[in-house]
Every structure is written in C-alpha cells, then in structure tokens.
Structure 1
Amino acid sequence: MIRGTVLLLSLWLGYGSSLEAREVPDVIVGSKQFTESVILGEIATQVLRSRDIETQHKDQLGGTRFLWQALLTGEIDLYAEYTGTLMEEIFADRLQGRRDLATLRRVLAGEGVLMSEPLGFNNTYALGMPAARADRLGISTISGLREHPELKFGFSNEFMARADGWPGLRQAYRLPHRAVIGLDHDLAYRGLASGSLDVTDIYTTDADIQYYSLRVLQDDRGYFPDYRAVFLYRADLTGRQPAVLPALRQLEGQISEETMIAMNAEAKLDKLPESQVAAGFLRKRLGITADSRRVGLSTSLWRHTVEHLTLVGISLAAAILIAVPLGILCARRPRLGRLVLGGAGILQTIPSLALLVFMIPLLGIGTWPAIVALFLYSLLPIVRDTCTGLRDIPPSLLESADALGLPRFARLRLVELPLASRTILAGIKTAAVINVGMATLGALIGAGGYGQPILTGIRLDDKGLILQGAIPAALLALFIEGAFEFAERWLVPKGLRL
C-alpha cells in the first residue's frame, strides 16, 4: 500500500511540475467571483494579448481580500477594482475619511501598487427589492425600510462584513432589522424571485436589476461612495513589461455605465461567454480584433478532469503517507494518540474557505494551497480508522504472532496491518470521497477542477454549466467507490473478506 502510494505521489508531482513549467505567462490577470469583474479581466487580458504580451486570466478568485492578497504576493499582476472598495474597505483606517484619488494613489504606491485612471463607469452599492412589493409597501428609499422591520434581509457574504457594507449601513440609517442572513450574491437574486428574501445588496450595473424587476432604493443619506472601476497593477510590472501600461491606457474612460450594463446582460442573460463579450466590446469601441480563445466542451471537460484528479491524487497520496503512520502511533501510544486525533479533529472543523484564505499568504493562489487544504482534511478519517483497525485486532491473534517469535516490525507488517487492512481502506475511501467534493472549492483560488464550471454556472444562473461540474464529480466519486472495492480484493486477505 505504501509503495503504491509513493509511486502515485511521484507521478502526480512529476505531472504537476511539468505542467507548471510549460505555463509561464508574461502577465497574470485576476478577477473576482462576479460577472462584471470577469468581463473586465477578459477585456484587460485581450488588450494585452493584442500587444503580443502572453497573458493568462485567472478568473473567479473569490472576493476582494483574495485578489488584494494575491496582488501583493505577486500571484497576479493586475485586476479590476473599485475606488469605493479601496477607500472604504482596504484602506479605510489609513485614509481617515479622505476620498480623493491623489491620496489613494499615494497609499497604493506605498504597497508597491499603481492604479489606472477610472474606466468610465460608477458601479456603486445599492439596496434592491422586488418592485411590486416595494410599490405595495410604498418604499422608495433606504430610510423607508425603518418602518418595516418584518422584511427579510439577505446580503452577500462580503457585504455582511465590509466596513462600507451592512454594519455601517445599519448604523447610518438606524435600521431595526437584526435577523439578516449572508449568502452568495447571485443566489440572493433567486431568493428575491422566490419570495424567501425581501431586500438584498446589488451593484448598480447589474443586469439582474431589470431581469428580476427590482426597485433600486434611493440612498437618501448618501452613505455609499462612488465605486469607479480602475485597474490595479504591481509597480514592478511596468519594468518587466513596458507595453502593459500603454495597453491599459486605451481603456481609461471608455466604458460607460450603459455599456457595462449591456455587457453584463450579454453574459448573464444572453449566456454569451465573457471572452466573447469582451472581444465584442474591444472590436466595436477600440477597433481591436482580440483573441477570445474559446474552449470547446470536450477540451474544457478534459482540463477540469485532469485538474481535479491532480488535487485529489496528490492530497490523498500525501495523506496516506502521513496518516497511516500516525494511526499506528495512536494505537501504540494511547495518550499521545488522543492528542493526535484531537489535532486532526480540530483541522477537520476549520471552515474550508477560511483554511484556503490562511493558505494564500504562505502558498499563494492556485493548485498547491488547495492540495494542502485537502491533505489536512484527509488526515482524520485515515488516522482514526488505522488506529481503530489495529486496536480491534483480537489479542489472541497477537499472542500467536508473539509465540512465533516475530520481531515487532515484522508482526506489524505481516499480521497487524493485513488484519486491519479492511478498516484502513475504509478510512482512505472516506477521505477520497471527501476530497472529491471538497476539491470543487479549489476553483475559488484558481486551482481549477470541476468547481470551475459549477461556480460559473451559479454566477450565470446556468444549470447546464453547473451540471458540467456536478455530474463528473459525482461519477468520479462513484468510480472511487468501485476502485476501492477492487483494491479490497487485492489488499485484504481472503480470509478476512470471507
């Protein structure tokens, strides 16, 4: 079992290393996990490619903190951000209420980051609710919500925690609502449509406002600042790739609010790929014929399969190499074993998104932080079942082994591990199935896999895309179940199987 695991780990590590060696782009563009950010990332990517700059777009990398940390650590070179987010969320404590771009540029420069001129549109936060319900209740402003504490509020998870989000908004308007839930931004729209929510946060350039017939409530106290779209890029990028800055300058002031809303609608409502939407804008507005690089279904499915197997294969193989010896230690040293199992149990309780965030400063974004997170989640079932399998061996069998004069290691290898093999395999199988499901979250930090089409499908309300990730993931889990059934016939002694 151990030798096979070592071989599997070596093959996957070799594959991962060769894959990374082949992909060395000049510039890496990032984008957040919402449609507009992905479109802006595609626009920047295609503009740079039109200047013969080899550019990679890592899309849907989560929220503001994911992208900001990735930019600081050099995992990405540029991404689209909003001035309001920078002033009220990232640098609120350092700007001390100042909202001028000159001060913001100085603070950014201190972090080794430069900022483009605004792209032309303002995508500020707002609160929205179904227009029919707003009309019935006579609500047209945010202040009007105070008279209706029965309304159900649901905000995006990022808005719930932002300095310029719900906590400050509730205080500024003295809103009495306390039972507020956090959820994915795109799912909130469906909550409004189904009637399970009454009010949510929206972006003023969202195509969903018209699609779901929402009323944008007037910010009558001027709480939300301007959120002018800009590109942030690393200061060292201009030295490494001097052609980047002139390329980005072509976009400054070129995207109006109407244009951005139309592009969001093309992606969200007309189901056009973001790369195609970006290419259409560049062709019409700037006369640039861009390379949109559309990927076919079979190619996409193959790439996601390889990425998913890489995440699961490396993390599971590493977990087996570490967890089986730890399980043996737990069985041999019960007191120490309780500490080991307790530590593994604590790791299992850490929320997956939090663990991924913790990994970014250490390992950046991409494949490796996801692999480490999956490895940590795999430890508990393997350690626990290895320990349980060894402890449950009847003492009479161990006494017989001692009577034969077997050394301690030989007894472990020839008697104890074979007798416990069925239980150990059950723990490994549990860890493998957990990994298949958990690996879908790796798409949040650019690790790819089946989570990529699932996240895109949720964002675009496209059930077909969701199924492109969900069905292969389910089939992979079933395949693993069958593979372990076969492995059990090979690894578990025949007498135990009978």
Structure 2
Amino acid sequence: MKLFNKSAIVAAGAASLLVLSGCAAGGDSEVTEDPTPAGDDTAEETTESAAPATDLSGVSITVGSKDFDEQLVLGYMLVEAFEAAGADVTDRVNLGGTSVAREALVSGAIDTYMEYNGTGWVTHLGNSDPSFDPAELTEGVRAQDLEENGIRWLGRSPFNNTYGFTSSPDATEANGGEPFTLQTMMEYVIDTPDAIVCMESEYPNRDDGLVLMEEATGLVIPEAQRLILDTGIIYTETAANNCDFGEVYTTDGRIGALGLTLVEDPGVNILYNVSVNLRDEVYSQAPEAFDSIVEGILAPLDNERMATLNGLVSVDGEDPQAVARDFLIQEGLIAE
C-alpha cells in the first residue's frame, strides 16, 4: 500500500471532516472565502490545533466486518481511514456472519466493525418493539451496549439498509407489472403452490427477520416453498425467475442493475442505519479523533450513495478495498 505524508493527511483530513460535519449539522451551507489574510499567524495556529482531531498515532486497532459486499466496503473504509490517520491497523475484514462478527468484537478478537442499529437492538441486546425513529433507536442501542458490554456506537449513517424482498420479472408481470406489497406477496405465495421464496440462511431464524413479515401479514410461507441460498446468488436467481421472490438488502446495487422490483414495505421491517461499533478501551485512547473520522465517513452515505458503491462491487466486480479508498479520496478524507 502506498505510504502517505502523515502530517499532510492529518491536516487535510481534519479540514474536510470539519466541513462535512458542518454540512451534516446545518443542511445546505454557503461556501465563503477564508477571511484570514495570507500570512496571518492565526491560520497556522488553527491548522495545528485541528490536526490532532484526526490523529490516531500510537493506536493499535483490529478492524473486522461481516461477509457481504456492503460490509466489505464499509470495513475497508475504516481500514483505510484509520491507517491514514496514523493507526497501526490489523485487517480482519470479511470475518463471517452477524454472530461471528459480534462475538469477535465482544471477545476482543477485533476492536471495531460497522453494525446496524436494528440488529443491535433486537439480536445483540435481546430487545423487542424497536423504535422507528432512527435517532431514538440508535441512542437506545448506544446507551445499553455501552453500559452492558463496553461497546461504543459511533455516528449513524443516513442510509437505512433494511431487509426487503424483490419479485422476479415473471412474478412482477403476473401482478400486472406493478410492485407487490408484503401482504400481496404473501397472498400470491399461498395461492401459488409452486412459487419459491429464496432467503439467506440467517433471515428465517432472526428475531428481526421473517417472523416480522409473517406476523404483520398473518400468513406463513410453507416450508416446501422456501429455498435457502447464499446472499449473492439470490439476486441472480430471482432475476432468472428461479426464485419468484428473493430476500435482499434494500441498498444493494444489484436490485436496479438486474431489473428487479422491490416489494413495497409499509414499515414492517425495522430500521438498519449503520454505526461504527468500537470497544470502549480503544475509543478512550483518542475519542476526538475517532468521532471526527467516523462522522466524515458516514455523513455522505445516504441510500443512493451506498447503493452506488455496493453496485461497483456486486455488479461491476470492482475490488471493495479500492471502492472504499476511492470514496475516501473523493470526500477529501484521505490523500491520493
């Protein structure tokens, strides 16, 4: 990996993070010229005082992720950003599923990864009835996980990568070319005994998975009509009409690229905005730097931007680390 001039990166990263933070807090901002005259000592003092806000020198950190494309991109964003800030980073991106990543974090095998607030509330902390307000849900997870497990939840992405379903081209055509709702999808499955619903292995067994849709619709997918596939295969098999409905992540770039139609969700599936999970003992070594870096990474990631990045990996076959790195450069968070 190319080595950077650390002091230049720290100064540039701090400045760009401050700009991003300001935009996130105040919405559209007018760009104005720097009122500090050239040669004024104040400018140099400001740069020097801002630099430590993104300095992770002396911090050792092991970064993990789950094993699907979005998580790979997010994990490498942390690897690249923390390295550029001077941290000694161990890369353990692509660990495995949710339970594997969480256990690694709690046990100290890794120090950080990106996690979804709905997963934290229901799966990791064992709660029910999650809030449908993203700020309230994240704050509830943040307070409980810190108190019980010493895990920090830093920041919150604008994007919400919740569970969803897509219909195949043939199923969509059978519905008059219109999107199904979760209710009409379930009714179609019951009324069409040869209809197949494809899902990844975790989804039918999660407290925030299939049970929510079945409870909301009052209908249960028969075992004979369930097909468990690897996550990535579901998209192509649904596009090929081998699955009538496929369980997907709603920010996945393959949905649009493959011409799949999202099933409309009136609010059954809970929220999955993402935060950086970080062990408190590591966070306490440089809290200001971690907060600034995380805010800079997450602030630009709305649903459209995340789906675009995911599509570069899932559809175009680009390397997830390269995609992550290009994003950070485009946002001015690291130098080329």
TM-score range, shorter chain: 0.7 to 0.9
Q: Partner of 1:235 in structure 2?
A: 280
Q: Partner of 1:299 in structure 2?
A: none
Give yes or no for contact 2:84–2:334 (8 Å, CA) kept in 1. yes
Number of residue-to-residue matches in the alignment = 265
**Structure 1 residues 263 and 30: alpha-carbon distance in aligned structure 2, compared to 1, 3 A threshold:** same
Deviation at 1:120?
2.2
Q: Partner of 1:391 in structure 2?
A: none
TM-score normalised over the length of structure 1: 0.50
**Structure 1 residues 156 and 121: alpha-carbon distance in aligned structure 2, compared to 1, 3 A threshold:** same
Query: 1:418-433 maps to which residues of 2 (within 5 A)?
Result: none
The partner residue of 2:301 within 255, 260, 263 is: 255
Task: Choose 202-211 or 138-147, whichever is displaced more.
Answer: 138-147
Q: Partner of 2:55 in structure 1?
A: none
Give yes or no for contact 1:26–1:241 (8 Å, CA) kept in 2. no
Q: What is the CA deviation profile of residues 192-236 of structure 1, one whole-angstrom value per residue up to 9, with x for unaligned ones?
A: 13332111211111011012211101113x211221111111011
Give yes or no for contact 1:146–1:174 (8 Å, CA) kept in 2. no
**Structure 1 residues 160 and 147: alpha-carbon distance in aligned structure 2, compared to 1, 3 A threshold:** closer
Q: The residue matched to 2:228 in structure 1 has which SS?
A: strand
Q: Distance in 2 between matches of 1:123 and 1:131?
A: 23
Q: What is the CA deviation profile of residues 461-484 of structure 1, one whole-angstrom value per residue up to 9, with x for unaligned ones?
A: xxxxxxxxxxxxxxxxxxxxxxxx
Q: What is the CA deviation profile of residues 247-273 of structure 1, one whole-angstrom value per residue up to 9, with x for unaligned ones?
A: 223224221211111111111222211
The partner residue of 1:90 within 121, 124, 136 is: 124
Higher relative contact order (CA 8 A, sep 6+): 2
**Structure 1 residues 175 and 34: alpha-carbon distance in aligned structure 2, compared to 1, 3 A threshold:** same
Q: The residue matched to 1:286 in structure 2 has which SS?
A: coil
**Structure 1 residues 119 and 145: alpha-carbon distance in aligned structure 2, compared to 1, 3 A threshold:** closer
The partner residue of 1:266 within 309, 312, 331 is: 312
Q: Distance in 2 between matches of 1:123 and 1:212?
A: 18
**Structure 1 residues 232 and 287: alpha-carbon distance in aligned structure 2, compared to 1, 3 A threshold:** closer
Q: Distance in 1 between matches of 2:249 and 2:116?
A: 12
Residue 147 of structure 1 pairs with residue 192 of structure 2: no
Structure 2: which amino acid aligns with 1:270? D
**Structure 1 residues 271 and 146: alpha-carbon distance in aligned structure 2, compared to 1, 3 A threshold:** closer
Q: Distance in 2 between matches of 1:153 and 1:238?
A: 42
Deviation at 1:26?
1.3
The partner residue of 1:126 within 164, 169, 172 is: 164
Structure 2: which amino acid aligns with 1:89? T
TM-score normalised over the length of structure 2: 0.74
Task: Choose 238-247 or 261-270, whichever is displaced more.
Answer: 238-247
Query: 1:1-20 maps to which residues of 2 (within 5 A)?
Result: none
**Structure 1 residues 249 and 198: alpha-carbon distance in aligned structure 2, compared to 1, 3 A threshold:** same
Query: 1:258-297 maps to which residues of 2 (within 5 A)?
Result: 258-289=304-335
Q: Based on CA coordinates, which of the two structures has the bigger radius of gyration?
A: 1
Residue 215 of structure 1 pairs with residue 261 of structure 2: yes
Give yes or no for contact 1:160–1:182 (8 Å, CA) kept in 2. no
Q: Partner of 1:20 in structure 2?
A: none
Structure 2: which amino acid aligns with 1:214? L
Aligned Cα RMSD in Å? 2.1
Unaligned runs of 5+ in 2: 1-58
Q: Partner of 1:336 in structure 2?
A: none
- Higher strand residue share: 2
Residue 65 of structure 1 pairs with residue 99 of structure 2: yes
Give me the identity figure in percent: 25
Give yes or no for contact 1:130–1:212 (8 Å, CA) kept in 2. no
